[in-house]
Structure 1
Amino acid sequence: MLETIEICEVRQADASIIWLHGLGASGDDFVPVVEELALPCAVRFVFPHAPRMPVTVNGGYIMPAWYDITSLDIAGVQDESGIRQSQASVEMLIEQEMARGVPSERILLAGFSQGGAVVLQTALRCPQRLGGVMALSTYLPLYASLPMEKTPINAGIPVFMAHGRFDTVIPIEAAEASRSALESEGFAVEWHEYPMAHTVSTEEIADIRRYLMQVLG
């Protein structure tokens, strides 16, 4: 089980958001967003820490990562075993929230950059009906296997994608291609783009809040 930071202002949450950070960061990265979102419903935020591992594109330097990155070419060879291992770890967190009494359809996955790739990988293949998935400044990994592995129960999952037009880490063209791949598989994508680099903006947080209010009520 991944180590996590949890924020919940009530004794019993009726919804959970599992939010994954990007490469080299930690679960603390998006903790300040909780206050900015100011959600009126009883939500438990779960911010897991990625395990530390060598990352090939960074010279084998050991850092928090959800999977190895062997090339800056997103369309190139991907660390399938690492991606699937992180998927399994997130599935354990989903099961933990369900065991705490949160219905699966009130559980949302969110992730930034590498964390966003993992939540897309997980949500579309999850055997339980989830409430939604937010993919921020990221791309769809292992897209070739999606047609065979997507679960019908999450065919209608509300997908929120947001990206910066000036992102040089994951170019917006990669995100747009991912959106097209999702739409070709029948997923409805709520798309947002902003005049920013590889980061999160105030305008984006406002759009995320609207999305969450719509999904969670």
Structure 2
Amino acid sequence: MSADRIDGPHQDQQLVTSGTDLADAEAALVLTHGRGATARGMIQIANEVHREGVAFLAPQAAGQTWYPNSFLAPVERNEPGRSSGLQAISDAISEANDAGIPTERIMLIGFSQGACLASEYLARNPQRYGGLAALSGGLIGEDLDDEYPGDLEGTPVFLGCSDVDPHIPEERVHDTADILESMDANVTKRLYEGMGHGINEDEMEYVSGMVADLVDD
């Protein structure tokens, strides 16, 4: 274990795999579920956008919750869950890398709490990724600061959310888009009128196109 590695509540949880077998895959999706949900539920969502050659890696949160409080709370109030969740994403990416899949062919997909975690991971670990789809989520913290140095090198990012989501303020979606764009991500942002907290067909269609791009180029 490296000195900076986090060993927290989510590190002894199962990594659920599906899709194309990792040994045969040329791309991978790292899937992070929402509060009270499961890794297997994210696998079911990913099945709707699967392409041949794409492996699925879905970490499971201990107690089905990545961190205890709102993502808008001060960061320290969501530790150690937040950092442990970020480590779970890192571990899944490493597993894909070890199978020969480069990070630029690895896409992060998260819903709700998992979308917040995936957004945060991308911003805190900038490089070229296969993509980020943050569905009903945004960057974590009470106040977003300037501690997001680095270059995402044109990583495609999709932010989809309701304009009246009870958990995700519209303003945080805009702020997340602005920060990721400042880091040279290629951001597409869509706010859906009156949708509530969920995933719609337009989002799934867009994400499906992003997944296809992982293996079609």
1:104, CA displacement in angstroms? 1.6
Name the aligned partner's letter for residue 7 of structure 1.
S
State how far apart, in whole Å, the 1-side matches of 2:108 and 2:55 are.
Answer: 12
Matched-pair contact (CA < 8 Å) for 2:97–2:103: yes
The number of equivalent residue pairs is 199
Verify: 1:182 aligned to 2:186, yes or no: no
**Runs (5+) with no aligned partner, structure 1:** 53-63
1:82 equivalent in structure 2: 81
What CA RMSD, in Å, does the superposition of the two structures yield over aligned residues? 2.3
- Give the TM-score normalised by the residue count of structure 1: 0.81
Name the aligned partner's letter for residue 6 of structure 1.
T
Name the aligned partner's letter for residue 33 of structure 1.
I
Name the aligned partner's letter for residue 115 of structure 1.
G
Larger RCO (CA within 8 A; separation ≥ 6): 2
Bigger mean CA deviation after superposition, 29-38 or 130-139: 29-38
1:165 equivalent in structure 2: 163
- Give the TM-score normalised by the residue count of structure 2: 0.81
Name the aligned partner's letter for residue 22 of structure 1.
G
* Percent of pairs with identical residues: 27
Alpha-carbon distance change, 139 to 131 in structure 1, aligned in 2, over 3 angstroms: same
**Runs (5+) with no aligned partner, structure 2:** 1-10
Alpha-carbon distance change, 93 to 73 in structure 1, aligned in 2, over 3 angstroms: closer
State how far apart, in whole Å, the 1-side matches of 2:126 and 2:187 are.
Answer: 20
Name the aligned partner's letter for residue 192 of structure 2.
Y
- 1:64-213 aligned at under 5 Å gives the runs 64-69=64-69, 72=70, 74=72, 76-78=73-75, 79-126=78-125, 129-142=128-141, 143-144=144-145, 146-147=147-148, 150-152=149-151, 154-195=152-193, 196-213=195-212
2:8 equivalent in structure 1: none
1:171, CA displacement in angstroms? 2.7
Name the aligned partner's letter for residue 68 of structure 1.
P
Runs ≥4 in structure 1, deviation > 4 angstroms?
none
1:215, CA displacement in angstroms? 4.3
Name the aligned partner's letter for residue 27 of structure 2.
A
Alpha-carbon distance change, 135 to 129 in structure 1, aligned in 2, over 3 angstroms: same
1:145, CA displacement in angstroms? 5.3
Name the aligned partner's letter for residue 210 of structure 1.
G
Name the aligned partner's letter for residue 171 of structure 1.
P
Alpha-carbon distance change, 139 to 34 in structure 1, aligned in 2, over 3 angstroms: closer
State how far apart, in whole Å, the 2-side matches of 1:125 and 1:115 are.
Answer: 15
